[in-house]
Amino acid sequence: MRNLDFEMTYDELQQQLTWQPQVVGRLSAPRARVIVGGMGGSALPAHALRFLDPAFAIETHRDYDLPENAGPDALYVAISYSGNTVETLSFAHAAHELGYAVAVISDEGGALDRFAKDKGIPHVLVPAGIQPRDALFYLLHALVRLLERNDIAEQLRSVSFDAHTAERDAHSLSQTLADAFPVFYASRRNGFLAYAAKIQMNETGKMPAAANVFPELNHNEMQSYDTAAPEALGWLARFVLVSDQSDDPRVSQRMALFTRLMSERSRVVANLPLGQGSRAEQLATGWYVTHLAAHALARARSIDPDRVPLIEQFKAQL
């Protein structure tokens, strides 16, 4: 396992994007919807799939047991990179006990892997050795393989972008966010990238961060940056707008107006453009830039980007 500063290279990202998982066991007939149980980085692939196909009927459950709308019409996919996440194990056991269709995605050797093998549940094992948040595309490939979404798998395998441009954008972003409170804003359709960036800043950069979407934030959160209390938080805030030429023009207008109003109030607003590539390329590029930026921010403060000691301590004391 690589324990220190796993800053992903472009070639390593390509390994994830071109990985071809294998399903062990036979899946049941297709279901009307999919419910993914997962926590932290292991929940991200379900959101990424919705990013790539907003019409796909997939939900995320980030809690113990099953959601209130659970029923036999769904496929329940338990995702835990380590295989030992207690909430996800609870989800998998609850679905299996009710006789619902269950599938598992995990690292090899954990409790979830053993559960799948013991119960004969279809499962996919993902390559080990990195943090769950950094294994996004391994987990996403495993999920789309289980769901037989070969179209999305092919989109991921065809992703290509300029690594040097991404590295330059990441360096610029890390400079903007140094000693700041990062706030990532995007359109609703690109909201996952804002949320994923927040997660990278929290776990990798070890920084408080926030994420929200237009137009909702214009009706509430925006007002908080026009007051004198708490002014310290306002001055620490650095806004990063995830911009996309394919966004609804009305949302783009809101972003432009927000930028102007914040600039008039001496707030810093940066731009993270997604480019004009496919949705898969936008996903990979946006995620990779914030991954690199979060690592740079941690290194600048002599902090190990990979370890999450407070989370580990919390889990150990539960």
Asked if residue 3 has pLDDT above 50, the reply is no
Domain co-membership, 59 together with 175: no
Q: Is the residue at 309 inside a domain?
A: no
Q: Please check whether residue 51 lies inside any domain of the structure.
A: yes
Q: Are 58 and 52 in contact (CB under 8 A)?
A: no
Q: What is the pLDDT of residues 170-213, one digit of tens each?
A: 999 999 999 999 999 999 999 999 999 999 999 999 999 999 99
- Which residue, of 157, 175, 194, is where some domain finishes? 157
Among 112, 136, 157, which residue terminates a domain? 157
Whole-model pTM: value is: 0.95
Alpha helices in the chain (DSSP H): 10-17, 44-52, 86-97, 111-119, 136-146, 150-157, 163-177, 191-199, 231-236, 249-264, 279-300, 309-317
Is there a single domain that holds both residue 19 and residue 150?
yes
Asked whether residue 310 is assigned to any structural domain, the reply reads no
Q: Which of 115, 134, 157 is the C-terminal boundary of a domain?
A: 157
Please identify which residue in the block is written with the tokens 């026009």: 226
Instruction: Domain of residue 135: give its range.
Output: 10-157
- One domain, residues 89 and 196: no
Does one domain contain both 221 and 97?
no
- 292-302 pLDDT tens trace: 999 999 999 99
pLDDT at 137 over 80: yes
Q: Of all helices (H) and strands (E), which one includes residue 79?
A: strand 74-80
Count of structural domains within the chain? 2
Q: State the helix-helix crossing angle for 86-97 and 111-119, rounded to 10 degrees.
A: 10
Distance of alpha carbon 55 from alpha carbon 76, whole angstroms: 18
Residue 68 resides in a domain: yes
Q: Which residues pair with 268 in a beta bridge?
A: 238
Shared domain for 129 and 174, answered yes or no, is no
pLDDT of residue 86 exceeding 60: yes
225-262 residue pLDDT tens: 997 667 788 889 999 999 999 999 999 999 999 999 99
Taking alpha carbons only, the member of 123, 144, 184, 126 closest to residue 50 is 144
Q: What is the pLDDT of residue 54?
A: 96
Is 152 in the same domain as 169?
A: no
184 and 128 inside one domain: no
pLDDT at 2 exceeding the cut of 50: no
Structure-token pair, residue 125: 């094992």
Is there a single domain that holds both residue 171 and residue 295?
A: yes
Q: What is the pLDDT of residue 5?
A: 54
Same-domain pairing of 140 and 181:
no
pLDDT band of 163, cuts 50, 70, 90: very high
Mean of per-residue pLDDT scores for the chain: 94
Residues 190 and 262 in one domain: yes
Same domain membership, residue 261 and residue 275: yes
